[in-house]
Amino acid sequence: MDKFLITGGTPLHGTVAISGAKNSALPAMAASLLTADQITLHNVPMVRDIVTMGKLLAYMGASVSTRDFPASEYAFQAHTISDAVAPYELVKTMRASILTLGPTLARTGIARVSLPGGCAIGARPIDLHLTALEKMGAEIVTSHGYIEARTPTSGRLHGARIAFEKITVTGTENILMAAALADGETILENAAREPEVTDLVELLRKMGAKVTGDETSTLCIQGVEALHGAEHTVIPDRIEAGTFLIAGAITNGDVTVTHCEPRHLTALLNKLREAGVSVEPVGDGPGPRALRVRGVRKLLAADMTTEEYPGFATDMQAQYMALATQAEGSSSITETIFENRYLHASEMIRMGAHISIDGRTAVVRGPAELSGTTVQASDLRASAGLVLAALVASGETTIERVYHIDRGYERIVEKLSGLGANMSRVHAPAI
């Protein structure tokens, strides 16, 4: 397994370009199952989860092609879906495979998707996806580790009024896609408002879907007979952008993050300013696409609670914790989305951080002098938090199991090294 070696202590300087959002590209790819026509996507990040989703679509009979390398533009075409199965081998490596359930069922009347099972950050059930599909007429059984879903004898799902008990991002996306090809109107209440959901709505509209209410928590979808091909550019990755902003701040550097969407980063920017960090938009006009972060001598403690969008993203919690270890005072961090998302904390403690955890709240006392050691990455965002901690630790940190970070950060070693970080990847010996 590959490792990262990071020697901390260098302030980062320069400019870094943000890639497309993994969590937008994944549902957009799944949406290609809704039509026999071609879907062309631009700004797709070159990360492992995209490769996995590409394999899954190919397994189901879609053609997946790309022109350039490293790839950022892809064409997907599912003329027919020959095998409406998402097998365990692929689903176990990426829970977002569940995004194929709604579109496959709506298009072909049948879908078999392996149950994703647990995950390092929490149980992550998919009951809300299934209950919603049942309300739309799907008959669902789970057996031998697979969800088997069929449309009713009429052949198509029907519209329904669905109120999610809890906000779910991929649940909203799955039902949006299913409803786009259902008979009649679907109203989705308590829907996720994440920018990635809005991006999917934009793609679906280009494909001929009739959706209103995006950016609100009530989505209204009028099902149509068929959808057609479309071309779409995936939004910038707000979590990658946030990670680089914290990298600039934590190292007391001066970093300009380009190709980002500052509107999607409001909660993080407010929190960074509360912590004393200077972050300013760069460029004129109504929609500046770059942010410049400059470190300060003294970071200040600031409490933070994760929430659904537009609140502070759970996917930025580990990175924020790294920053909090360097802030003066006591920062209370509360994780409300996932029940077990503090696996990075024990590794940060091994690096010298002062963190105590009580249930869903972690109290971080800073500033702590971190020192490099060998740490284990446990999930994608935890790995990013450890990279940030390593950038300020004295001496060398070895981060093991970096396959987690490869799932969602495009060329992170190259991008951080380009800003002056002393960082390298050690490739696992070929067996």
List residues near ligand EPU by CB under 6 A: 23, 26, 95-96, 122-129, 166, 168-171, 196, 314-315, 337-338, 380-381, 408
164 neighbors 128 (Cβ within 8 angstroms)? yes
Q: Nearest-5° angle of CA 400, CA 335, CA 247?
A: 50
Nearest distance, CB of residue 425 and ligand EPU, angstroms: 20
Question: Cα 59 to chain center, whole Å?
Answer: 23
Report the distance separating Cα 320 and Cα 362, nearest Å.
Answer: 12
Nearest distance, CB of residue 118 and ligand EPU, angstroms: 10
Closer residue to ligand EPU in complex, CB, 306/325:
306
Q: Which position among 1, 9, 14, 119 bears the catalytic label?
A: 119
Helix (H) or strand (E) holding 157, with range, is: none
Rg (CA), the chain: 22
Report the distance separating Cα 194 and Cα 265, nearest Å.
Answer: 11
Report the distance separating Cα 151 and Cα 262, nearest Å.
Answer: 41
Closest C-alpha to 241, from 58, 414, 17: 17
Cβ contacts of residue 152 below 8 Å, gap of 6+? 137, 138, 139, 158
Q: Is 119 part of the annotated catalytic residue set?
A: yes
Nearest distance, CB of residue 389 and ligand EPU, angstroms: 18
Nearest distance, CB of residue 202 and ligand EPU, angstroms: 16
DSSP-derived secondary structure letter, 234: P
CB atoms under 10 Å from CB of 94, counted, come to 21
Nearest distance, CB of residue 369 and ligand EPU, angstroms: 29
268 neighbors 291 (Cβ within 8 angstroms)? no
Q: Point out the residues that are catalytic.
A: 119
